[in-house]
Amino acid sequence: MLVRLKSVRLRNLHVVTSLIKKTTTPFLKWVGGKRWLVEQYSEMLPISYNRYIEPFLGSGAVFFHLKPERALLSDLNRELIECYQQMRADPQGLSALLAEHQGKHCKEYYYGVRANIPATPSKRAARFLYLNRTCWNGLYRVNLKGQFNVPIGTKTNVLLTTDDFQETSSLLEHADITHSDFEDTLNKAIEGDFVYIDPPYTVKHNYNGFLKYNESIFRWKDQERLHAAAVRAKQRGATVVISNAAHVSLYELYKNSKTILTINRSSVLAASSAKRGQVEEILVRL
């Protein structure tokens, strides 16, 4: 079957909904984050649904754009999930701990924080967010021992002008936030739910330099398992939208979908400026 490319642009409706809801800026920077998606392709997202589900949470750009009344958010990254849980539980305390990091930030301090994991959930969450904001390009990467090993970046601001932790906490109060494998989360999707899926990319993606790392945490068999779980969710009545790399293997995997849209975005991840530029991804609606 031929892959169908279709882009339905509901611009007037997008303008109306944008006036009703102002997007909240995600508090995390995340490689592969979808801020650009909600800015350019929000018409691909449904207008109404009962519950929002996202099994690869990352920075949560789509969640913060939609501001759903009910949500199920999950990720296999335990530190990430704990950070979200602490943001929901104690935004003021998290802000105060970040202010301490801000006052001490320097190269020596960064590597000291990176090497030591605090004993309490609040301090672990503050460490996670501090490292996220001051490491190279917001990359999350661990070594074979599970230790965060990203070098220090060029950013020096730990507290940002876009921060509104109280608003972020309020939005997260409407969400179940769980440490979970994506299949367990997708198996909970039922009729009326909207599921947005943005897995790690496991094919060469315009020289992003992290193919080997991605393949170590999300293999092709996981892509196939994800496809099967997403199709089951669709069969139970959920609306399912998936982002992924624009690669022949993924066009083939999703060839029976309702819509496969090839989209372009800018990439700044590559260390060499010569390898940065426009990259292609696919947006699939089952």
Q: Are residues 70 and 121 in the same domain?
A: no
Q: What is the mean pLDDT of the chain?
A: 86
Same domain, 16 and 144: no
Q: Is the pLDDT of residue 205 over 60?
A: no
* Higher per-residue confidence, 40 vs 111: 111
Amino acid at 264: N
54 and 190 housed in the same domain: yes
**Residue (of 76, 54, 57, 44) closest to 194 by Cα position:** 54
Q: What's the confidence (pLDDT) of residue 267? A: 59
Q: What is the mean pLDDT of residues 238-243?
A: 97
Query: ∠ CA(68), CA(58), CA(273), 5° rounding?
Result: 130
What's the pLDDT score for residue 204?
47
Per the model's pLDDT, the better-predicted residue between 12 and 194 turns out to be 194
Q: Which residues contact 271 (CB under 8 A, 6 or more apart)?
A: 209
Asked if residue 161 is part of any domain, the answer here is yes
- Pair (184, 281) in one structural domain: yes
Are residues 91 and 40 both part of a single domain?
no
21 with 97, same domain? no
Give the pLDDT of residue 216: 57
Q: pTM (2 decimals)?
A: 0.86
Q: Is 175 a domain residue? A: no
CATH number of domain containing 92: 1.10.1020.10
142 or 203: whose pLDDT is higher? 142
**Region 121-145 average pLDDT:** 94
Domain boundary among 167, 200, 224: 167
Please give the DSSP secondary-structure letter assigned to residue 43.
G
Residue 270: which pLDDT band, with cuts at 50, 70 and 90?
very low
Range of the domain at 146: 78-167
In a domain, 6, yes or no: no
Lowest-confidence region among 3-12, 57-66, 72-81: 3-12
Q: Is the pLDDT of residue 89 over 90?
A: yes
The partner residues of 194 in beta bridges, in order of sequence, read 52, 239
pLDDT at 218 over 90: no
Give the per-residue pLDDT at 17. 38
Q: Are residues 57 and 88 in the same domain?
A: no
Residue 152 belongs to a domain: yes
Percentage above 90 pLDDT, the chain: 68
pLDDT of residue 277: 59
Number of domains in the chain: 2
The answer to whether residue 196 sits within a structural domain is yes
Residue 174, domain member (yes or no): no
In this structure, are 195 and 255 located in the same domain? yes
pLDDT value of residue 220: 85
Each residue's pLDDT tens digit, 44-71 = 899 999 999 999 999 999 999 999 999 9
Residue 202 lies in a domain: yes
Pairing of the two strands 259-267 and 277-285: antiparallel
3-state SS class at 44 = helix
| pLDDT category of residue 21 using cuts at 50, 70 and 90 | low
User: Residue 4 domain-assigned?
Assistant: no
- How far is the C-alpha of 262 from the C-alpha of 247, rounded, in Å? 10
- Together in a domain, 187 and 268: yes
